[in-house]
């Protein structure tokens, strides 16, 4: 019996493998990190690794990844498949669950084996509450970022698994690497985040200047990354983005919908800047400034100069 761990995101792959090792200890079986040949050099875990090698480009293609993982399940006698909860990972997890005809637990934390079932907790109602969920084994589960400690190190063993020729419905054209910020928002002690209050992308420059003055990282609410594309997905904070816990979180022009609040609840101090005094963000803020960000941010920059 085996617990499989997979994510195309290098950081989340190490977290997912940590979860797999904890479950493997409870099930008295092996944990195995599944990696793709074109990405394996960027992922280092302290444990057993299986590298999938194919003539096709696997990364970014959910159809091929689903086919590859589904074929491995019976060969490795996999009891639980843990997948990083990225946009691609969610697609892969749901399709594998359908193919295997098993349950899928989404965005779960604190995984345990209880009464021959996999149990965990997940955020509900925009992060206001948590719900305990469970599934029979075998099953599939997705792991959100920031849930487990990273298990980094040199692999104890590496096995190359060559895949047979697979048909694909989606043809890979090219891969464009994301431009990552210099500071990881998941570990930053100070985060300055932007919301819909910004009128255009160029105006984010003053937010970046503020973050630099405070030696912090820049984040954003979902609309700026997913809808407008002004910032990368790695900057997105919220229910479907990163969960952060900085010493100081400054929300600039963010209304404070439940999806965003879920990702910042663990911040030690929250400061909100918004011209709408009825904005929900003020309900959880430790300090609030009601005013136009286009006047307040320049004033702060002048003060911090």
DSSP the chain: -EEEEE-SSHHHHHHHHHHHHHHHHHHTSEEEEEEETTTGGG--BSSEEEEEE-SS--TT-HHHHHHHHHHHHHHHTEEEEEEE-SHHHHHHHHHHHHHHT--EE-S-EEEEEETTEEEEEEEEGGGTEEEEEEEESSEEEEE-TTSS---BS--SEEEEEEPPP---SS-----------SS-TTT-SEEEEE-TT--SGGGHHHHHHHHHHTT-EEEE-HIIIIIS-SS-GGGBBSTTSB----SEEEEES----HHHHHHHTT-SEEEEEES-TT-GGGGT-SEEEES-HHHHHHHHHHHH-
Instruction: Check whether 7 has a pLDDT greater than 70.
Output: yes
Residue 182 has pLDDT above 60, yes or no: no
- The percent of residues above 70 in pLDDT, for the chain, comes to 91
- 172: pLDDT confidence band, cut at 50, 70 and 90? low
Answer yes or no: pTM beyond 0.95: no
> Hey, what are 135's tokens?
């599934």
Q: End-to-end distance of the chain based on CA atoms, in angstroms?
A: 60
Q: What is the mean pLDDT of the chain?
A: 87
pLDDT digits (tens, 9 = 90+) for 97-138: 999 899 999 999 899 999 989 999 988 876 678 899 999 999
Model pLDDT for residues 44-62, shown as the tens digit of each residue: 787 888 888 877 777 777 8
Domains 2-162 and 190-304 share a fold: yes
Q: Say what the pLDDT of residue 152 is.
A: 76
72 band by pLDDT with thresholds 50, 70 and 90: confident
Q: What residues contact residue 303 under an 8 Å CB cut-off, 6+ apart?
A: none
pLDDT tens, position by position, 268-280: 999 999 999 999 9
Q: What pLDDT does 136 receive?
A: 93
- Which residue in the block uniquely carries the two structure tokens 């990696």? 35
Lowest-confidence region among 9-13, 33-37, 39-43 = 39-43
Of the candidate CATH numbers 3.40.50.620, 2.40.50.100, 3.40.1410.10, 3.90.1640.10, the domain formed by 2-162 belongs to: 3.40.50.620
Strand order in the sheet with 129-136: 109-114, 117-124, 129-136
Calpha distance 108→150 (Å, rounded) = 16
Higher pLDDT, 75 or 180: 75
Kindly list the domain boundaries of the chain, sorted by start residue.
Answer: 2-162, 190-304
Q: Please tell me the predicted confidence (pLDDT) of residue 147.
A: 82
Residue 176 has pLDDT above 70, yes or no: no
> Using CA of residue 155, residue 30, residue 102, residue 11, what is the dihedral sign?
negative
| Of the candidates 50, 82, 26, the residue with the CA atom closest to the CA atom of residue 156 | 50
Note whether 11 and 145 are within 8 A (CB).
yes
Band the pLDDT of 170: cuts 50, 70, 90. Answer: low
Taking the domain 190-304, which CATH number applies? Answer: 3.40.50.1220
Residue 218 reports pLDDT greater than 90: yes
Report the percentage of the chain scoring pLDDT > 90. 53
pLDDT band at 193 (very low <50, low <70, confident <90, very high): very high
pLDDT, residue 168, reads 61
Beta bridge partners of 81: 4, 140
- Which band of pLDDT confidence, cut at 50, 70 and 90, is reported for residue 153? confident
How many angstroms separate the CA atoms of 261 and 3, rounded?
Answer: 33
Give pLDDT, residue 259.
85
Residue 184 pLDDT greater than 90, yes or no: no
Give the pLDDT score at 36.
84
Strands 129-136 and 117-124: antiparallel
Q: Is the pLDDT of residue 181 over 60?
A: no
Distance CA 284, CA 271 (A): 9
């Amino acid at each position: 019996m085996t617990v499989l761990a997979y994510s195309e995101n290098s950081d989340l792959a190490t977290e997912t493998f940590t979860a797999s090792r904890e479950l493997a200890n409870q099930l008295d079986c092996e944990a195995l990190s599944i990696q793709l040949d074109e990405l394996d050099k960027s992922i280092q875990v302290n444990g057993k690794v299986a590298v999938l090698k194919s003539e096709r480009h696997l990364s970014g293609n959910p159809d091929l990844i689903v086919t590859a993982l589904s074929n491995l399940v019976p060969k490795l006698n996999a009891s639980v498949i843990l997948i990083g909860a990225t946009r691609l990972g969610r697609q892969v997890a749901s399709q594998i669950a359908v193919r295997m005809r098993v349950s899928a637990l989404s965005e779960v934390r604190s995984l345990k084996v209880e009464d021959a079932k996999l149990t965990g907790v997940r955020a509900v109602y925009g992060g206001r509450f948590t719900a305990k969920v469970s599934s029979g084994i075998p099953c599939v589960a997705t792991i959100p970022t920031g849930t487990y400690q990273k298990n980094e190190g040199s692999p104890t063993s590496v096995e190359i698994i060559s895949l047979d020729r697979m048909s694909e419905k989606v043809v890979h054209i090219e891969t464009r690497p994301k431009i990552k910020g210099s500071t990881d928002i998941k570990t930053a002690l100070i985060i300055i985040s932007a919301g819909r209050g910004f009128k255009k992308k160029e105006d984010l420059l003053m937010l970046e200047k503020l973050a630099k003055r405070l030696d912090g990282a820049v984040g954003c609410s979902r609309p700026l990354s997913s809808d407008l594309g002004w910032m990368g997905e790695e900057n997105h904070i919220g229910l479907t983005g990163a969960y952060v816990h900085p010493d100081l979180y400054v929300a600039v022009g963010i209304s404070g919908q439940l999806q965003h609040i879920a990702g910042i609840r663990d911040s030690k101090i929250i400061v909100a800047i918004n011209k709408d005094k009825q904005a929900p963000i003020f309900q959880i803020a430790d300090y609030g400034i009601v005013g136009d960000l286009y006047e307040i941010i320049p004033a702060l920059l002048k003060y911090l100069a």
